[in-house]
Chain A
Amino acid sequence: MNFFRKILFSAAVLGLMSGGTAEAAGKIVMDGSTTVGPIAKSFAAYFTKTTGVQVTVSESGSGNGAKSLINKTCDIANMSREMKDKEIAAARAKGVNPVEHIVALDGMAVVVHHPGNRVNALSRAQIRGIYQGKYTNWSEVGGPNAKIVVIQRESNSGTQDSFKELVMGKETPITKNAETQASNGAVKNRVGSTPAAVGFIGLGFVDNAVKALKVDGVEPDEMTVKNGSYPITRPLFMYTNGPATGVVKQFIDLKNTPEGKRMISELGFVNR
């Protein structure tokens, strides 16, 4: 009798756990960039609410997004940079045909510590100088007398690749003294707690904890990113295997709907 009761009880518990979730009409698995993460997460919540399709989002970096797409373990790869030729070749070799969709534009904000740094603006040449190790003290670029703590992103990051392309140029490497952080949030935390630090993060991540600098005299905001006057601007991508179809297409097309556009701008990113 006791035994039966136990079985009944565990069946009830299992029933409780499996119940309560709607039968999904389909599901979408997303992987990739932490920069595109906020957009992907908000789209996912909105999409699940309106269509009932389950959407999961992982934020493991653009490089991992590309790898997941190549290994066919995700439906959409979020990337904050274009797919590299090498990755496209690897995808083709596995029978995957990456198709890019631009979801939004993002200005890359160069951020410093609020109280620790009087610098309000840098030119791209100065930023390049800091990151290649030519300037090592803030006083060389108009700041206080403090050694610059240079913060970069990991090699897997699309933000890092875009920064290299847009600021450093192909030839100049980033100084070996640069410290590496693994996500936009982590860079923000580090800069927010280190008086002499400088880092770069997506515009959507900037808040009161850090100060975004003018670059080449232009403040990063929605308008300057959209009209291209802010110099470090890049598109954010979602990649699919072949042209998007079915629910995946519906999901990606969210970016063109009024709601999708509002979500993007509410998150601090810029509509294309």
Chain B
Amino acid sequence: MNVGTRKILDRSFTAVGIGSIVVMGIALLIVIVPIVFNGMGSVFFTGTIEHRNMLYNEFGKGNSDVLARENAAAGAYRREIYSMLSKFEAELESMEPEKQQELRAQYGPVRTALQALFGPLPGDPEAVLTRYKYGQTRWDKAQEKLHEFLYEAKWDYSDPNAMAKEYFVSRAAGFEGTSLVKLFPYVEKNLDRLLRPEFTVYWGFLTDSSVDSHIFGGIWPEIQGTFFLAVGAMLFAFPLGVIAAVYFTEYAQDGFFTSMLRSANSTLAGVPSIVFGLFGLAFFINTLKVSESKSVLAGSLTLAIMILPTIIRAAEEAILSVPKTYKEASLSLGSTKWNTIMTVILPAALPGILTGGVISLGRAAGETAPIIFTAAVSVGSAIGLADVFSSPTPALSWNIYNLASEHEAAAEIRHVQYGMVLALVGIVLLLNLSAILLRARISKKLKG
């Protein structure tokens, strides 16, 4: 091969390398940017007065004087709506029955749409569910609801061979000739005065409990649950894993038994996580009965078993990569084997062991399947440390899935789901970062 071809090959290899890094970067951007952008939307958003009322009533946050003034200002505009409604209702009574029935059928959805925007109307019975006590708390949602209020969505099925088309009919047109027709332009024009949108930074999303199954409030119980589960899993798996790795590298004799153990360990690393979940249910909860019901303890144990193989392998590699001369020097100075392991080999291998731990920690925090049957619930309060042995907990990974698939109002609270995803990604990054820093400090210390 002459120099020319070699150069071309070399350059094209470089180009492919750079190209693949660029592709990876773009892919990462495509994944991360929406997560970050939409996730931030759960903390930074344009909130309405309904949001501030909700915060004040449910969490006691906010200034009551300012809020009272705001409510009075918005109330002045809202009273106008209410008087239009009562005027129209009186008008309805005096109409002939047929016309009345026709208008009533159209009036129902109008009221519903108004309730969605501004909360209960005068004369409504008091709502029990918190979600019906308030109007739209977010300005972007309020605008969607305004559209629903102004227009009725209909479907055009006239072409039998094509998909139906959605089209919108102005609700106002249906009330032509009655007093209610003025309501629609009024609400459209004054929506900002009625709802008083304001840029809101709601850190409570991270520190508050949820209200009415995630419709309002924050995700603290989930964050805390994720933290407990991940740390709990580490508490069990890390010491066990390191001890097992020391056994494999320093004590085990090469033989049938050891190779069996090793391949069992490798197999364990490849088992799907749902299998661990079912095993955890059958073994820890139904057989050992570590707790009465699902619990953080059972979940942590299950996660610990799942991440154990990774930790063992990483620790083994780390211990094997410690130069043999360290060990020989220590032994030649008259140190015992145990002492050598504790004072020479393990400290030198610690950075590598920690790397394995970090990867496993992230995995434990993000796994859903092992905790479905052993620890996770869709609704529950934040639990104290004393409760980890007996109580199940909400956790980010499971609740993201729950909101995506099972929640009855999933479409209304996408921002909560995004917020949870961002929080989970953030927690995993934070855990990784802190472990990387810890590792850097330890390696620096070791170098003296």
**A interface residue numbers (CB < 8 A to B):** 14, 17-21, 24, 27, 29, 31, 34, 37-38, 40-42, 44-46, 48, 54-60, 64, 68, 71-75, 114-118, 144-145, 182-186, 189, 195, 204-205, 207-209, 259, 262-263, 266-268
Stretch of B11-19, B184-192, B337-345, B374-382 with 4 or more beta carbons under 8 angstroms from chain A: B374-382
Q: Which residues of A contact B285 (CB under 8 A)?
A: 71, 73
Cβ 8 A contact of B129, one of A42, A44, A182 = A42
A165 to B132, CA, bound (A): 35
Asked if A21 and B378 make an inter-chain contact with CB atoms under 8 angstroms apart, the answer reads: no
* Interchain CB contact under 8 A, B377 and A57: yes
Min Cβ gap A95→B in Å is 14
Q: How far is the CB of A240 from chain B (nearest CB, A)?
A: 14
Are B377 and A58 in touch, CB under 8 angstroms? Answer: yes
Q: Please, what's the 1-or-0 string for B352-396, where 1 marks a CB less than 8 Å from any CB in chain A?
A: 000000000000000000001100111111111111000111000
Collect the chain B residues with CB atoms within 8 Å of residue A54's CB: 380-381, 383, 391
Judge if B294 is at the interface, Cβ distance under 8 Å.
yes
Instruction: Provide 17 A-B residue pairs closer than 8 Å at the C-beta atoms, listed in order of the A residue.
Output: A17-B385, A29-B292, A29-B392, A45-B211, A45-B213, A48-B381, A54-B380, A56-B294, A56-B391, A56-B392, A59-B402, A60-B373, A117-B164, A144-B161, A189-B410, A209-B411, A262-B127
Establish whether residues B406 and A185, one from each chain, have CB atoms under 8 Å apart when the complex forms.
yes
Bound Cα distance A118, B384 (Å): 53
Q: Is B378 in contact with A114, judged by CB distance below 8 angstroms?
A: no
Indicate if the CB atoms of B382 and A115 lie closer than 8 Å: no
**In the complex, A59 Cα to B376 Cα: how many Å?**
10
Q: Is the CB of A73 within 8 A of B408?
A: no
Would you call B405 and A183 a contact (CB within 8 A)?
A: yes
Among residues of A, the one whose C-beta sits closest to the C-beta of B390 is A27
Interchain CB contact under 8 A, B405 and A182: yes
Interface window among B2-10, B78-86, B152-160: B152-160
Once bound together, how far apart are the Cα atoms of A218 and B132, in whole Å?
28
| 8 A Cβ contacts from B197-227 to A | 211-213, 224, 227
Taking a contact as CB atoms under 8 Å apart, the answer to whether A116 and B376 are in contact is no
A21 touching B381 by the CB < 8 A rule? Answer: yes
Minimal Cβ-Cβ distance residue in B for A38: B408
The distance in angstroms between the C-alpha atoms of A208 and B404, with both chains bound, is 17
B230 to chain A, nearest CB (A): 13
Is B128's beta carbon under 8 Å from chain A?
Answer: yes
What are the nearest 10 A-B pairs in CB distance?
A: A56-B380, A18-B385, A18-B384, A115-B164, A118-B157, A56-B377, A29-B293, A41-B213, A183-B406, A21-B384
Q: Which residues of A contact B378 (CB under 8 A)?
A: 37, 41, 57-59
Docked-complex contact B128 and A58, CB < 8 angstroms: no
Bound-state Cα–Cα, A89 to B65, Å: 62
Please, which residues of chain A bring their CB within 8 A of the CB of B383?
Answer: 21, 54
B447 sits at the interface (CB 8 A): no
Q: Say which size band chain B's interface belongs to.
A: 35 or more
Contact with A along B225-247 (1 / 0, CB 8 A): 00100000000000000000000
Given contacts A41-B379, A115-B163, 17 further A-B contacts (CB under 8 A): A18-B384, A27-B391, A38-B213, A42-B212, A45-B379, A48-B381, A54-B380, A56-B393, A59-B406, A60-B373, A73-B294, A114-B166, A115-B164, A144-B160, A185-B405, A186-B405, A266-B127
Q: Is the CB of B408 within 8 A of A204?
A: yes
User: Is there contact, CB below 8 Å, between B379 and A56?
Assistant: yes
Point out the residues of chain B lying under 8 angstroms from A73, CB to CB: 285-286, 292-294
Contact of A71 among B128, B286, B386 (CB under 8 A): B286
Structural contact, B410 and A185, CB atoms closer than 8 A:
yes
A115 and B166 within 8 A (CB): yes
Contacts of B272-292 to chain A: CB distance below 8 A: 285-286, 292
**B69 within 8 Å of A (CB atoms):** no
Measured between beta carbons, the chain A residues less than 8 angstroms from B212 are: 42, 45
B386 neighbours in A (Cβ, 8 Å): 18
A145 and B161 within 8 A (CB): yes
* Cα A204 to Cα B213 with chains together (Å): 15
B125: interface (CB < 8 Å):
yes
CB distance from B292 to the nearest CB of A (A): 7
Task: Please report the C-alpha to C-alpha distance between residue A29 and residue B157 in the assembled complex, in whole angstroms.
Answer: 48
B148-200, CB < 8 A from A: 153, 155, 157, 160-161, 163-166
Cβ-closest chain A residue relative to B221: A21
Q: Which B residues are CB-close (under 8 A) to A186?
A: 405-406
CB distance from B158 to the nearest CB of A (A): 9
Task: Determine whether the beta carbon of B384 is less than 8 Å from that of A114.
Answer: no
Q: Which residue of A lies closest to B380 (CB)?
A: A56
Instruction: Please indicate the chain B residues that have their CB under 8 angstroms from the CB of A20 in the complex.
Output: 382, 384
Q: Which residues of B contact A59 (CB under 8 A)?
A: 378, 402, 406
Given contacts A115-B163, A259-B128, contact A44 B379 (CB under 8 A): yes
